[in-house]
A and B are shown apart, each in its own frame.
Chain A
């Protein structure tokens, strides 16, 4: 069967970015199944408007923009429940020590407790690799506001981690 260049482009797009999209979706909604649905719906929308993507370097930001809109639509339809800390998945990475795995679970739990206005710029920076200016464009904010949010996001996260470690030790 002959595969069109459009289909090949889409295949490459999915294979290159499905992991990042899934993770971003996961941290937006805190639910693995929902994150998969969001990633899938994002790619289906991307397929329908693939001609709008001109620069390969812009693909990730383009997909994240679509994903954020999808998430906002989903949020409009139903209020998402907060994920219980006990439901959080852990990496199945043999190379990690039990301490690291424990630390990861504390960080993940803390991330989900961050307010969305702090969590989202942090995700864009850490997972997406975007600069402050790029995050500002994506979120429709000023660069200074984004820098403040990122600073506060880390402070709040560190504070939550201190609490989380204390609970883990207790």
Chain B
């Protein structure tokens, strides 16, 4: 390496020297002096460029960042709240549409029947123990065995209410029986305008018994039978031992 090469290589970055450059400089007084001058210039340049940093700059930057972050978080939280509220409203809307939970009980029962058509298919009577177990699952203990001929028994939600849903095949067509423990509905008879279904609701045994059928012919008999099963004999119901 000659002096020209050394100075040409030093020029772009005077702080860095290759081993070859160092070797040349150590043996060359002229390049050694040139190197010293170059470093002196670099030091002066670095000192001049190091303008004072304004006091508290880091703190101001951190303050701006945390303030902006809090604002962003607040915006995100508000957005999240609105999103959750929207989801809830949609879910509620769907629920109302699907379950009609705010409809009159008679209508809810008819809608429920439409969701479980399979309940009406079987005609084989269930063992009494199966029916009693369904009542037991709803926290109800029957005072007497249920009326004979129940072909279907399940615990079902009707809107927001829990029920024991049963089917009793009759000659004129099946009668669906619901018992809704803990819900007292005023006694009423309802005729559905669309399908001609009839619904009778009877307050009974701290709950409501509902009978649903195309024909109301057996309602009185069934009402009396279920009262015996749920409340016991008239004497038992009156508290006579």
Contact = CB atoms under 8 A, between A and B. Distances in A.
A26 B51 contact: yes
Instruction: Give the size category of A's interface with B.
Output: 35 or more
Interface in A113-170: 122-123, 125-127, 131-132, 146-148, 150-151, 154, 157-158
Interface in B33-48: 41-42, 44-48
B13 A125 contact: yes
Interface in A19-63: 19, 22-23, 26-27, 32, 36, 39-40, 43-44, 47
A146 B51 CA distance: 25
A15 B45 CA distance: 24
Interface of A, secondary structure class, is helix
Nearest to A6: B69
A23 B13 contact: no
A87 to B, nearest CB: 12
A169 to B, nearest CB: 17
Contacts of B69: 47
Given A11-B62, A127-B49, A151-B12, A22 B54 contact: yes
Interface in B6-63: 11-13, 16, 41-42, 44-54, 57-58, 60-62
A1 B46 CA distance: 41
A91 B62 contact: no
A76 interface: no
Nearest to A18: B58
A132 B13 contact: yes
B65 A39 contact: no
A18 B51 contact: no
Interface in A93-107: 100, 103-105, 107
Interface in B65-88: 65-66, 68-69
B121 interface: no
A111 B13 contact: no
A59 to B, nearest CB: 15
Contacts of B53: 18-19, 22-23
Contact of B44 (A19, A40, A44, A107): A107
Given A22-B57, A43-B65, A126 B16 contact: no
B85 to A, nearest CB: 28
Nearest to B72: A48
Contact of B65 (A10, A132, A154): A10
B64 interface: yes
Contacts of B47: 91, 100, 104
A157 B45 contact: yes
A14 interface: yes
Contacts of A111: 48-49
B50 A39 contact: no
Nearest to A16: B58
A123 B51 CA distance: 13
Contact of B12 (A10, A47, A105, A132): A132
Contacts of A150: 11-13
Interface in B174-218: none
Contacts of B65: 10, 14, 43-44, 47
A10 B58 CA distance: 11
A84 interface: no
A89 B49 CA distance: 11
28 contacts: A10-B62, A14-B58, A14-B61, A18-B57, A18-B61, A19-B53, A22-B57, A27-B51, A32-B51, A32-B54, A39-B61, A43-B65, A44-B65, A47-B69, A89-B51, A91-B51, A92-B52, A103-B48, A104-B48, A108-B51, A111-B49, A122-B45, A126-B49, A127-B46, A132-B13, A147-B13, A150-B12, A157-B45
